[in-house]
Structure 1
C-alpha cells in the first residue's frame, strides 16, 4: 500500500465532495448492504487524516454500516489534537476502535529511528492528555522496506536494521500498554532472516500482536490462498492474521483490486472470505484498503 502523508488541497476537496455525495444521497442507505454488527474482524485504513476535521460523522457512519470495528488512522501533526479527540470519542460511542497508523519504507533503517521515536512520543503525549473515551486502542505500522533499492543490494543489512526497529517499536508499545500490529506483504515467507532458516514472515508474526497481509486479489479464494503459509505460522504462535483487500485502482493489474468489479462483488467476496478464513484458527478478519477508496467504490456503483 502507498503511504499518503499529507494530501494536496485539491485532492482533499475531491475526496470531500465524493464523501458528501455518498453520505448525502438518499439512496445510499437502501443501495448499500444493511448495517452489520460492529466487529473487530473487519478493519480499514484512513490515510486522509485531515478529513476527520470536516467529515467525521460521514466517515464513521459508513464504517459502522460496513461492520468495521477498527480504523487504522494515520497520525498527522498537521491535524489539531481536538479533532483527534472528537473523532475517537465519536468512534468509541459507536463501538469502533481507532489505532494510530504510520510508516514509510525508510522506517526500516537505523538512521530513521528518530522518526519512529517521534511517532511513539506523539502517541504517549496524546494518551496522557486524552479522556478514557478519547484514547487510542492500538498502534499499526506500514513500513515496506522492500521498496528501497537496498533491498536488492544489501538485503542482510537492511533486514537486520528492520528487525532492530521492529523490536524497538515492540518495547515502546508495551510501555504504552497498546497492542502493536503491522501490514506485511504475503510473500515474506519466501525470504529468510539473515543467518537463519526462519522465514522473515514468521519472525515478523512473532513480534506483532497481529499482522495484516497485503493479500490483494479480486476473489476470496485467491486472497485466502495467498495467506495459507502465514495462517499456519500464526497458528503455531497463537497470533492473528488479517487478510487485506484493495478497492483502489492498481497499476499492478486488475486482478489486484475490486475497483473494476464494484462494491456488490466486493461484498459477496468478503462474505465468502470470512467463511474460508473461519476454517483457520489464526484468521483475524479482513482489512479493507482504504476507507476513502471503499466509499468511492460504493458511490461509483450508485452513479452507474
Structure 2
C-alpha cells in the first residue's frame, strides 16, 4: 500500500509540474549547512569557502550580524555563487515569539531589504532562513497555546516580508512538531503541517546518529512536504552534546555520518517532498573526527 501511495504522489506531482519531485529533471538535492559564526568569513573567507567547496556544500545558511559590514557579506555571497553555493540569510531566537519580539524579525527583514537593494545580482542572498525555536521560550511552558499562536503570527509576518523581498522563506523545525496540536485563528491541526504549508521549505532537526532513527523521525514531515509540494531538508548534528549519545555524529566521526546519510538519501530519493541533507554546523563539522 505504501508503494502505491508513493507512486500516486509522484504521478500527480509530475503532471502538475511541481518542484520537489525527483522525477523533475531540474531537481537539485540540497547539501546544506549552518554558518552561525559569520566572523569566520571576516577572518578567513577563503578558508571557509574552501571547506564548503571541499564538502560539496551547495547551500549555506549564514547568520546575519549587523556589526559586520555588508561588504563582507557581499564578498562572501559573490564568491559562493561563483562556486555554485547558494547563500541564505539566517537569524532567529526563541524570544522572537515574546510580546514585541517580532521587532527583531522586522529589523532582520529591513537589513536584508537594504542589503538586496544595494547589491549586484551575484551578491544577493538566495533566500531567508529562520531558526526561532519557540519551545525554548519560557512561554512554551507557561502558556503554550499563546506561544504557538505568536509563533504562527511571526512566521506569517515573515512570509509577507519575504514575499516583498521576492525571496523564499525557510525555517528550522524540530522533528516532534508533528505531535503538537494547535487550535486558534489560524485553524486547527498539527503544527508541523502548518509550518510546512506556510513556508517554502523546512529543515527538520532530526538529530540522531543512525539512518534507521532519522528515516523514522522524518517520515511524517517528508509526506507532508510532498502533500504541499514543498521540499524538506533533513538536518543532522555534528557537535558534542550532553543530551545523549544518540543525538550527534560527534562520537562516530564523519565517515560513519556520510555512510548513514547515504542510507537516508537512498531511502527517500524517489519520494516527493525530500529535498536533501543539512549538516549542523560549520564550526563543529570542521573539527569532527574525519574517520
CA deviations 1:226-285 (Å, max 9, x no partner) are: 001111111111111111110001111110000000111011112222111213210010
Kindly indicate whether the alpha-carbon contact (under 8 Å) linking 1:224 and 1:243 is maintained by their aligned counterparts in 2.
no
Greater helix fraction, Structure 1 or Structure 2: 1
**Is 1:283 paired with 2:281?**
no
> What residue in structure 1 maps to residue 208 of structure 2?
217
Residues 56-92 of structure 1, C-alpha deviations (whole Å, 9 max, x = no match): 1111122122221110000001111111111111101
Structure 1 gaps of 5+ residues are 1-38
Q: Which residue of 2 aligns with 1:44?
A: 33
- Once the two structures are overlaid, the 10-residue window that deviates more, 269-278 or 281-290, is 269-278
1:273 aligns with 2:264: yes
Residue 72 of structure 2 corresponds to: 83
CA drift at 1:46: 0.1
- Contact persistence 1:263–1:301 (CA under 8 A): yes
The alignment of Structure 1 onto Structure 2 pairs a total of residues equal to 262
Instruction: Please show how residues 1-304 of structure 1 align to structure 2 within 5 Å.
Output: 40-195=29-184, 197-297=188-288, 300-301=289-290
TM-score when scaled to structure 2? Answer: 0.87
Alignment partners' CA distance in 2, 1:220 and 1:55 = 34
| Poorly superposed stretches of 4+, deviation over 6 Å | none
| Greater Cα offset, 251-260 or 109-118 | 109-118
**How much has 1:48 moved relative to structure 2?**
0.6
Structure 2 match to 1:19? none
Compute the displacement of 1:156 (Å): 1.1
Contact 2:97 2:137 in 1 (8 A): no
Aligned residue number for residue 11 of structure 2: none
1:116 CA drift (Å): 0.6
What is the root-mean-square deviation of aligned Cα atoms in Å?
Answer: 1.3
What's the CA shift for 1:197? 4.2
Q: Distance in 2 between matches of 1:277 and 1:45?
A: 22
Could you tell me whether the CA contact under 8 Å between 1:70 and 1:99 is conserved in 2? yes
